[in-house]
Structure formats: structure tokens, C-alpha cells
Amino acid sequence: MTDNKPGGVQTDVRQLIRGHLTSFSPAERRVADVVLAGSLELLETSVTELAERANTSAASVVRMCTSIGLRGFQELKTRLAIEHVPAAHFDAGAVGDGAELAVRILRDFASALKDTAAVLDVGSVSGVVGELLTARRIHFAAVGTSAMIASDCAFRLSTLGLNVLFVADVHAQHIQARMLGRGDVLFAISHTGSTFETLAAARAAKSAGASVMALTSFTRSPLTELCDHTIIAGSAETRVRVEAVTSRLVHLAVLDALYIMLKQQLPDADRHLRAASEVLAEHRF
């Protein structure tokens, strides 16, 4: 990182932007001006929306971020949140302690699932299911908290007899994506839709001729612009939290629904499930 002070202390991200103003291109300068003039509303803004406000492209937003030593737009949002949102406000509404707080959090989860069920685009879900049913190979791309969800889903789909792969290493994800082709599917999972590594894998798969689909929380993002099919499922936490918490649960529930829909439509699913169950039973202690 280029913004570290001596002793490992990081420079305030807005101060960092001001220090680079003279080195930005005109497009990057417009992005910087929007960030500096904006408030914490940027935390609920997608990279596409910020690009529109700066009258430029999403690529220019990312270049501005990398010019100051960040990995991309998501890291910019994370730094802004950490540096400018009081710790007590990160989980606004989570008031109380002990059991009271636990109950409130569980109610937030329940509310998020109910809201998702009310607005979920059934056509998008059906489109994803149709692609998965006919795919020659299915590769997942995800990092961070989304990687655990992708790993779980890949395992469960493989028990239905589908040809599914998920590798945790992001470099391996990119390499595998480049080896896909027509008839294959790259399934990306990303809360923000702007995660650098996941986008790289999606672009590689698209260039190779594979179909790209995604599960994400934002309607407009660089990832949704790449996709043939997209499932949008998020929660109100995108306004106040840095990491996906409630949305992670929502994404897991949506993938469970996909699993059940696929199981109902795959003629040999039960046979494959029995075989998987026998293997797992052999390895139980």
C-alpha cells in the first residue's frame, strides 16, 4: 500500500485523495471531487451510481481508487466507513444487550428473509435454474464471506449429479474461468457486485464464451452489467454495515431455494443423493 505512514498507521482516505488530486486524469478528478464533496451516503452507493454522478465510467472510479493504492471501490467504501462512522452506528438499530440484542438480530434476519420473498424476481430465478440444468460445467467465483456460501452451494449441487467446481484460491478461480467455454456457466456470488477478484473471474469466463450469472445485493454494479442472468437479493444492511451479515443469510436462503428447484427437475437427483449419502456415512466416526 502506498498510503501507510511510518509505523504502519494508514492515512485518512480523504486526505489521501486530496494528496493525489494533481496526478489524477480529468475523469479520476471528477470521481475524487464527488467523493470529497459527498458524505456517508457513499456507503449505500454502487460503483455505477458513483460513476454516473461523476459523469464518467465505472472503470474510472476503480482507476481513481487504485491510483491512491486501494484495491478498488469496495475498499474505498470500507475505509470511509471505518474512518468516519462511529463504531456505535455500524449496527444502527441493534440496541440492547445479551438476550435482548440476540432476539433483535434474529428479528432483523427474519424481516430480511420476508422482504426478499416479497420482491424476489421469479423470472430471474427461473432463468438461472434453466441455465444450471443444461450447463456442461458450473464454476463458482466468490471471495470473503461469499466464498463460504459458494463452497456450500457447490457441494450441494454436486450431490445432485451436476458437474460443479469451486476453488477457494482467487488465482485458481481466474484460471479455471478462462478455461470455460460455450455451454459452461460461471456463477458469481458477491454482495457488492464490485469485488475485484470476482469481477476478474466473471470477465474471463465471459471472454471465453461461457454464460455468466450472479447472486448479488445491488441491482446496478459492474457484475450485473456482465451477467446473462442475475438474482438480486439483499437487505437494508447495505446502508450501514461494511461487511455483509444479513445479506449473507439471504443469499444462503436463495441458494437453498435454487437447490430444491434443481432437485425437483433433475430426473436422477435422488439416485445421486443416495450415493452421496452412502459416501458420507462411510466417513462418519
pLDDT of 180-233, one tens digit each? Answer: 999 999 999 998 888 889 999 999 999 999 999 999 987 778 888 899 999 988
Residue 239 lies in a domain: yes
What is the chain's Cα-based Rg? 21
Residue 263 lies in a domain: yes
Residues 6+ apart with CB under 8 A from 5: 11
Residue bearing the bigger pLDDT, 282 or 223: 223
Residue 132 lies in a domain: yes
Specify whether 77 is located in the same domain as 127: no
Lowest mean pLDDT segment, chosen from 32-41, 189-198, 237-246: 237-246
| Listed residues 85, 107, 142: the one ending a domain | 85
Query: What pLDDT shows up at residue 242?
Result: 47
What pTM was estimated for this model as a whole? Answer: 0.70
Residue 223 CB neighbour total at 10 angstroms: 28
**Alpha-carbon distance 91 to 242, whole Å?**
10
What's the domain count of the chain? 2
212 three-class SS: strand
The residue segments making up the domain with residue 58 are 13-85
Instruction: Please name every residue paired with 215 in a beta bridge, in sequence order, or none if there are none.
Output: 189, 231
Specify whether 79 is located in the same domain as 125: no
Residue bearing the bigger pLDDT, 244 or 118: 118
Query: What pLDDT shows up at residue 10?
Result: 59
Degrees to nearest 5, angle at CA 146 with 226 and 102: 135
Specify whether 157 is located in the same domain as 266: yes
Specify whether 142 is located in the same domain as 78: no
Lowest mean pLDDT segment, chosen from 3-12, 51-60, 72-81, 229-238: 3-12
Query: What pLDDT shows up at residue 283?
Result: 72
**Alpha-carbon distance 67 to 76, whole Å?**
12
What cell does 15 get?
486526505
